[in-house]
Structure 1
Amino acid sequence: MEEVIYNKVTPQLIQEFKKIIPGKVHEKEEINEDYFHDEMPIYGKGIPEVVIEATNTEDIAAIVKLCFENNIPVIPRGAGTGLTGAAVALHGGVLIDMSKMNKILDYDMENFVVRVEPGVLLNTLAEDAKNQGLLYPPDPGEKFATLGGNVSTNAGGMRAVKYGCTRDYVRAMTVVLPTGEIIHLGASVSKTSTGYSLIHLMIGSEGTLGIITELTLKVIPAPKETISLIVPFENLKDCIGAVPKIFMAGLKPQALEFMEKEIVLSSERYLGKNVFPKEVEGVNIGAYLLITFDGDRMDLLEELSEQAAEVVLEEGAVDVLVADTPVKKKDAWEARSTFLEAIEAETKLLDECDVVVPVNQIPTYLSFVKSLEDQYDFAIKSFGHAGDGNLHIYACANEMEEEEFKRQVAEFMDIIYKKAAECGGLISGEHGIGSGKMEYLAAFAGETSMRLMKGIKEVFDPKMILNPGKICYKL
């Protein structure tokens, strides 16, 4: 493809934008610096020339059509909680803030779907669905991300082990294409064999193929009861080694998380409360499993918990603590949910990866990663979704120069991504590629797959204006 050359946003174009969405167009010093980066600023910053607060599908289409005609980059953005630089204006242009399109439109109780705008926060839908006696199963750690962002990265989360990822709950969507055309994908049905699945191509595309302006999402009847287990182990190897045994025993946890002691200590310092035991009967604890079961009867959950306790104790657990009250469950999962915030609060330089490997390869993979720590000047912290093999590995430093940190981390990431591939895994389970992981994707996917991905991008976005420089097309 020929070199892509973008035009600047002219004063005349800005006036056209203001005619379409009066009072929602911001430029120059009106633009908040929060728009310059996402939650992982190590991947760089980008300054949009214009920020427009989206209001509805038709207005977005009109804005995008003008940008297409004038070769202006367009970047859709939700809450900005991404971790790969995906919602950053690397080439200037127009950033469309989708967060104000935040209405829950309606529930269809007969077909068990809910229709929402893309700026609705995950936490907002979770609470609203709960009030309807329903559950929206996807449960990414960042509860204040937008649903549009979740769909754009195919976010997974802690309940994926039982219920699947965001992809499994998207029934339909409305999308504005890079040309300004509006299309409707999917329907309120549970199966389809109707041509190429464009809706599944859009899911996980990180705003590079289209701008999602409405979603129809599957919901399910909410389970009436939950029970959680905190399971301390002396070391990480035994902790992870117990995970396959839980599944082999026929148990089906709603969530199954692992965490090292250091990350737990960071979280508890951040929250100002102690939740997890650090020593049990003279044994120093090095790692933990956090397991939740859900269902409609507490007696059955207690039975499941007893079976799980027998399994993990046989595999080396030091103890099994039952969180069966609302306060205990809240404390345990609040600690887990704040891991990233806790790391950020204590760390000046931060990078991360979210590889996914087969569950039986987790111990091998994590042992390999930990063996590298002495080779670098940064600390390595890890936690993740033990039930589905999605691991969050953080490189953390406070005393290093940024350029040296980046150099060492690039080498480290290259090594551990290659090891993930050797273990039969993939380089991202839920965070996506954005701009920060493009080189690793190219090395992992290979020439043919990258050619196909680039070809898809060219078909959807012939002028390369939509979220350029992300996933597969480095400009």
Structure 2
Amino acid sequence: MLEGKYQDFYNKIEKSIPVENIFTDKLHTLAYGTDASFYRLIPKIVIKTDNADEVHKIVSLANEMNLSVTFRAAGTSLSGQAISDSILIVTSRKFSNFKIAEDKSHISLQPALTGAQTNNLLAPFGKKIGPDPASINAAMIGGIAANNASGMCCGIADNSYKTLKSMKLIFVDGTRLDTGNEESKKAFRKSHGEFLKELKAISDETKADKELANLIEKKYKIKNTCGYSINSLIDFSDEFEILQHLIIGSEGTLAFIEEITYYTVEDLKDKASALIYFKDVKEACNAVTKLKLARDSKKITVDAVELMDRAGLASIENDPAMPDFIKNFDKNVTALLIETRAINDEKLDTQIKELESLLEEFEVVRDIYFTKDVEQYSLYWKIRKGLFPAVGAVRENGTTVIIEDVAYPIEDLADATLELQALFKKHNYSEALIFGHALEGNFHFVFTQDFSIESEVKRYDEFMQDVVNSVAVKYQGSLKAEHGTGRNMASFIEVEWGKTAYFMMKRIKELFDPKGLLNPGVIINDDAQAHIKNLKAMPQSNEIIDKCIECGFCEPTCPSNDLTLTPRQRIVINRHMSQLEREGKDEELKEYQELYQYDGIETCATCSLCSSACPVKIDTGSLTKYLRAEQNSTKANTVANFVANNFSTTLTGMKIGLHGANLMHKIVGTASMESITDTIREWTKGKSAKWSTSMPKAISINTRFEQKSSDKKVVYFPSCINRTMGRSSVSQEEKELFDVTVEILQKAGYEIIFPEDLGNLCCGMPFSSKGFNEAADSKSSQLEDALLNASDFGSYPVLCDTSPCTKKMIESFSHKELDIYEPIEFALEFLTKELEFNPIEEPITIHTTCSSRKMGLEEKFKKLAQLCSTKVIIPADVQCCGFAGDRGFNFPELNKSALRNLKTQIKDAKYAFSTSKTCEIGLSDESGLDYNSIFYLINKVTKPKNL
């Protein structure tokens, strides 16, 4: 329950913000109050904002009522800067408009676009944004700018500070400023003249203090996000340039970024990478120093140098993609991942030779080899990006994985790194590893910690004190190179910068935020113990999720990420519920369970795409299936088993239902049908199925037809969905998928074999997705036996016309001699050999189902589509459709939310295709196009070869 000012605030703000976007309950405040750091604060109120006007209203009211606010984008920040015990303002994924300049020289972005989305927008023009953090797929633009996040290749030349053009800002008093608009700046001068005068005075004083100015200049020659970007005080004279560059890296403590305009940078496509193994860390660091000096003097072109120490290599040496020889390295071997990019291949070859020549003097344990192979160097970078989470995957349950982020002057890199390794030994962090952006002197070091034990907290504190003295005092480096100060290093800013610089930072904070309402405790914090307060517990819950480090990389892939909860949030809640259960807090546990049912269980699509984005492959969809199975009563399991044992009868019932619905639609018309079914859903509180014009008609298939005998044989298993559901009433297609598939196979010269007792066969997915594991296993086993017999124990390939069913079969079957194909791979493997493809010129769009993605078929589907059409449109921001088997009928809001960006991204497409009937229903509903199986298009564009 809210009390006092917070209740008053809620009463007022709910008049301006949709109430469904305001959260005060235990479940949502905990879920949204968790970021990727090892700190936790639970907000009183969480508000998801869809636009800048909403943020303006919230901030203005909070300022009026003296309540603090914190801004949060993706919550991938690692230093505790995205959490609050007051009001947390979250930028929803709708807050994502953009505009690309006509000459593509700059791009204006709202805060909720991810870095990856932004680069996808710019890719067709050979451009990208400068910042490239490892979290770029998940991190949002608002957070990237607010933290001055950099990454592996941008260094200090192309980070947010250096590539900033202009900003739209909201200040704590509600004032709005567009630094790219002269009228806005003129109005700001009029309303905030004293503010600008004081800002100019701070800048002039800093420039006049030669010792301070020299310190700033020196410290920003390396990466530095510790404290405010006070380099702006000496880099610029214009007050608005100073102001907006101070916002970069300010972590939401000075103003809210409602829009940022970046200068774009060239995205060179010709590149090569080498993973080079040096005898020890000192040799590797000396090589880095030489590379850095040669690059700065323009003697070589090198875009990135990433260091991985022996412990880092050990953490990934068992990855099947890594070469076996790594396991045989001694304890000192250290790797450098080096990348060079060029404007063309000829220039790239020259750059490679220059790098090889420069590195000749250093002792390596394997020959130096630069690869241009995209697949190979992409693997190198994927491994490097996964080092931090990989440590989390092997840590003891209940411990927290910590990543610290420092930078050293390049001339001290080798000595400083050896000293850091010595500190690991001194404080018994035997599992610690070092990796990072060595070319910029920027290293991350990772270790694990149990914050539930007081002595362990003390050990961490003593270790950090030594690190601070080594990095900031002895080597005059940066305590935070790119992860932002947050709560983690706020206590140590004065140690790094000295009293004068820290005083300037305090003046800046007071000027922008005189009441201290914006993200208090972050950057400016005089509590010497702040770094060891509000530490986050990581209690054990379920072995499916216990290795999660709450990094948030999974969130962009989740179809419910803008509707209810994300995979990370589901894990956070389950951990807390497990802790409540251990503590015997039954009433509170029950409250969480009731709140979790819809947000956590009902609206999870169980697509498991989260596991594909997770560096440690945590599958939250499997957790949901586990929880559903736990909830299923004995009676429910009995019913499921009955259905499984009488499957043909069940399908007949489904057909009767579909026939009745379509007959009623034919009688009353579309508008009345929608009105009637919507009313029924309202009466039943969503328990009745949603009807739409994409609802399929009932069908029956006929497997008894005349065939020619052929040496080429294929077993065709039409899924139960495609044996039951046909075209919709508005479909322009004339044939059912079964008939189309038969026509293609016969055109390709195949004799078709159907498994016996086809009407009763099912892969088991409809049961497993609901947690009815016994029924699922029974159906899967029955189908496997039937396919073994039909294929003469694997002598003939098996084709299933639905991708999700194919994946379920491959995973469940024990007889690996069965060669099972879904439509994409079957077409590429077999049909392309027998059929001539003549692509159409009309634009098409394709949807790769989540099952196909997990089977690694995304690029293959694109290749197949390009055989069929000269113009293929693939929406960048659409992954799982959220229909989730039959879940889209009962929870259509999940499908709608998952496909919220679909229509705008495929507006030029004339035809649409996928490989799953239920997905196609949901896609058709939300796009306005008639989605069908890709087999329809293949049948249209092909003819037999050698006629």
TM-score (norm 2): 0.47
Alignment of 1:134 onto 2:131? no
1:256 touches 1:385 (CA, 8 Å); kept in 2? yes
Partner of 2:362: 315
Distance 1:201 1:73 in 2: 21
Do 2:287 and 2:362's aligned partners in 1 also have CA atoms closer than 8 Å?
Answer: yes
Q: Using the alignment, how far apart are the partners of 1:152 and 1:104 within structure 2? A: 18
More helix by share: 2
**CA deviations over 1:352-373 (Å, ceiling 9, x no partner):** 3211111121101010111123
1:55 and 2:55 are equivalent in the alignment: no
Which residue of structure 1 lines up, in the alignment, with residue 488 of structure 2? 436
Does residue 1:181 correspond to 2:181, yes or no?
Answer: no
Q: Distance in 1 between matches of 2:124 and 2:104?
A: 18
- Which structure would you say has the larger Rg? 2
1:244 is aligned to 2:237? no
Q: For 1:245-293, what per-residue CA distance to the aligned partner results, in whole angstroms no more than 9, with x for missing partners?
A: 2244421211111111221332455x6531585168x877711111111
Whichever residue aligns with residue 284 of structure 2, its letter is C
Identity of aligned residues (%): 25
Q: Which secondary structure does the structure 2 equivalent of 1:354 belong to?
A: strand
- The answer to which structure, 1 or 2, has the higher relative contact order (CA under 8 A, 6+ apart) is 1
1:21: which partner in 2?
17
Residue 49 of structure 1 deviates from its aligned partner by 0.9
Determine helix, strand or coil for the equivalent of 1:439.
helix
Structure 1 equivalent of residue 406 of structure 2: 355
Residue 203 of structure 1 aligns with an amino acid whose one-letter code is I
1:355–1:417 Cα contact (<8 Å) kept: no
Task: Please give the residue correspondences for 1:81-120 in structure 2 after superposition, counting only pairs within 5 Å.
Answer: 81-89=76-84, 92-110=85-103, 112-120=105-113
**Matched-pair contact (CA < 8 Å) for 2:303–2:340:** yes
Note if contact 2:407-2:477 (Cα within 8 Å) is conserved in structure 1: yes
- 1:260 matched to 2:254? The reply is no
Task: Tell me the amino acid that sits aligned with residue 301 of structure 1.
Answer: L
**Is contact 2:280–2:334 with CA below 8 Å preserved after alignment?**
yes
Describe the shift of the 1:174–1:162 C-alpha distance in structure 2 as closer, same or farther (beyond 3 A).
closer
Distance in 1 (alpha carbons) for counterparts of 2:500 and 2:46: 37
In structure 2, relative to structure 1, the CA distance for the partners of 1:52 and 1:429 (3 Å cut) is same
Unaligned regions of 5+ residues in structure 2, if any?
183-234, 528-947
Deviates more, 1:70-79 or 1:437-446: 437-446
1:261 partner letter? R
Q: Any idea what the Cα deviations from partners look like across 1:20-72, whole Å, max 9, x if unmatched?
A: 1213111123515232332122xx31111111111111221111111111111
Contact 1:230 1:323 in 2 (8 A): no
- Answer yes or no: is the 8 Å Cα contact 2:49–2:95 preserved in 1: no
What RMSD, in angstroms, separates the aligned Cα atoms of the two structures? 2.4
Residue 419 (structure 1) shift: 1.6
- Asked if the contact 1:230–1:276 (Cα under 8 Å) also holds between the matched residues in 2, the reply is no
Partner in structure 2 of residue 345 of structure 1 = 393
Closer/same/farther in 2, CA of residues 192 and 362 from structure 1, 3 Å limit: closer
Structure 1 gap ranges (5+): 1-6
Of 340, 358, 362, the match for 1:293: 340
Partners of 2:96 and 2:37 lie apart in 1 by: 28
Once the two structures are overlaid, the 10-residue window that deviates more, 100-109 or 432-441, is 100-109
**Once the 2 structures are TM-superposed, how far is the Cα of residue 223 of structure 1 from its aligned partner?**
1.4
For the 8 Å contact 1:79–1:145, the answer to whether it is kept is yes
Larger mean Cα displacement after TM superposition, 155-164 or 230-239: 155-164
DSSP-derived class of the 1:239 partner: helix
Question: Matched residue of 1:242: which SS?
Answer: helix
Of the structure 1 ranges 143-152 and 402-411, higher mean CA displacement relative to structure 2 is found in: 402-411
Amino acid at match of 2:149: A
CA distance in 1, matches of 2:440, 2:257: 27
Q: Deviations over 1:312-346 (max 9, x none)?
A: 23111232132211100110000011111112222
Q: 1:38 matched to which residue of 2?
A: 35
**Corresponding residue number in structure 1 for 2:146:** 152
- Say if 2:468 and 2:479, in contact at 8 Å, map to a contact too: yes
- Whether contact under 8 Å (2:29, 2:45) holds in the other structure is no
Code of the aligned partner of 2:9: L
Aligned pair count reads: 460
Give the stretch that moved more between structures: 139-148 or 416-425.
Answer: 416-425
CA contact (8 A) 1:278 1:285 kept: no
Query: After superposition, what is the alpha-carbon deviation per residue over 1:113-136, rounded to whole angstroms, capped at 9, x for unaligned?
Result: 011111111111122211332122
Hey, what's the Cα distance between the residues in 2 that align with 1:163 and 1:386? Answer: 15
Q: CA deviation at 1:205?
A: 0.6
Identify which range, 79-88 or 414-423, moves more after superposition.
414-423
Which of 424, 428, 432 is 1:377 aligned to?
A: 428
Q: Is the 8 A contact 2:51 2:95 kept in 1?
A: no
Q: For 2:92 and 2:280, locate their aligned partners in 1 and report how far apart those are by CA, in whole Å.
A: 42
Shift of 1:297: 1.1
Distance apart, 1:213 and its partner CA: 0.9
Q: CA deviation at 1:100?
A: 2.2
2:317 and 2:173 map into 1 onto residues whose CA distance is 49
Shift of the 9–77 alpha-carbon distance from structure 1 to 2, 3 Å rule, reads farther
Partner of 2:118: 125
Conserved? CA contact 1:151–1:203, under 8 Å: yes
Aligned residue for 1:314, secondary structure, equals: coil
Aligned-partner residue type, residue 180 of structure 1: G
Counterpart code for 1:29: K
Secondary structure of the residue that 1:372 maps to in structure 2?
A: helix
Matching of residue 218 in structure 1 with residue 215 in structure 2: no
Is 2:219 aligned against 1:167? no
Q: In structure 2, what residue type is equivalent to 1:18?
A: E
Give the aligned partner of residue 409 of structure 1.
460
Which piece of structure 1 moves more, 252-261 or 447-456? 447-456
Counterpart residue identity of residue 205, structure 1: S
CA distance in 1, matches of 2:5, 2:119: 39
Distance 1:34 1:381 in 2: 30
Q: Are the aligned partners of 1:101 and 1:119 in contact in 2 as well (CA < 8 Å)?
A: yes
